Chains A and B, each alone.
Chain A
Amino acid sequence: MNRDGLDLTAALRLLSQAGCPNPMQSGEDETRQLQMLIDTLCDLSSHDGLTGLVNATFFRSILARELDRVARTGRPCALLSLDLDHFKAINDTHGHPVGDLVLRHVARSLQGLMRSMDTAARTGGEEFAVILPECTPSEAIRAAQRLHQAISPITLSIDRVAITVTASAGLAWTDGRSVPDAAQFVAETDHELYRAKRLGRRRLCHPLLPLSHVLPEERASLLAPLPEDKYGI
Chain B
Amino acid sequence: MNKTLFEKIWDSHVVKTIDGGPSVIYVDRHFIHEVTSPQAFAGLKKRNISVFRPAQVVATADHNVPTIEQNLPIKEELSRLQVEALKRNCADFGIELYGLGHPYQGIVHVIGPELGITRPGMTIVCGDSHTSTHGAFGAIAFGIGTSEVEMVLATQCVLQTKPKLMRINVDGELNRGVVAKDIILYIISKISASGATGYFVEYAGSTIRGLSMEGRMTICNMSIEMGARGGMVAPDEITFSYMKGRHFTPKNQDWDEKIAYWSTLYSEDHVLFDSEININASEIEPMITYGTNPGMGIAITGHIPSLEEISDQEKPSFEKSLQYMGLQPGTDIRGKKVDYVFIGSCTNSRIEDLRMVASFVKGKKKAAGVEVWVVPGSKQVEKQAIEEGIGKIFEDAGFNLRQPGCSACLGMNEDKIPAGKYCISTSNRNFEGRQGPNARTMLASPLTAAAAAITGRITDVRDLI
A, B bound: no
User: Which A residues are closer than 8 A to B by beta carbons?
Assistant: none
